[in-house]
Amino acid sequence: MNGTFSKRIVGGILAGMLAVAVQITPAASTTSRPAKTSDSQRVVDASRDVDRAKIENLQRWVSAGHEGWCKDARLVAMDELKRVAPAFAGASSDLEALPLDEESAEAGRAVFVWSSPDGRATYRVTVERFGWLLPIAGDANSIVWVPTHAEVIAHR
């Protein structure tokens, strides 16, 4: 199967599974807070509830040899950005070439930031690996990354 075609199919499957697995809380999806600087305003600050059973099923799927890209924090963040940032998906046919900055990284948590080409918005996506997946994954490097937080900051 063609690599790009396979990624798109799997991205759709993963997005569907994650949409069911993690739901944006109603309070978080409507949160608008002024930012700390006068030139930007936080538009969306959405934390997600984690559905452990759904994520365990995703881990089993990946551990069975499917969709190894789910073990790459950057690729999972890019997939989430395609969902929350329409300009991200249309910015390039080669998503791996887009400037996605890693803001912070820890053993089980990474934060990625991307700014739209027009400079009007900055997107911050947090992905996490959960230690409770270790028995299914077999080793820490095989645990899937899951998007747990997305933030959109609109610049005036």
| Rounded distance between C-alpha atoms, residue 77 and residue 27, angstroms | 23
| Rounded distance between C-alpha atoms, residue 129 and residue 122, angstroms | 24
Residue 131 pLDDT > 60: yes
State how far Cα 39 lies from the chain centre.
Answer: 26
What is the structure's pLDDT at 41?
A: 72
Q: 20 or 1: whose pLDDT is higher? A: 1
Host domain of residue 121: 3-155
State how far Cα 152 lies from the chain centre.
Answer: 13
pLDDT digits (tens, 9 = 90+) for 4-14: 444 544 455 55
pLDDT band at 68; cut points 50, 70, 90: very high
Number of domains in the chain: 1
pLDDT digits (tens, 9 = 90+) for 84-122: 877 776 555 555 556 677 777 788 999 999 888 888 888
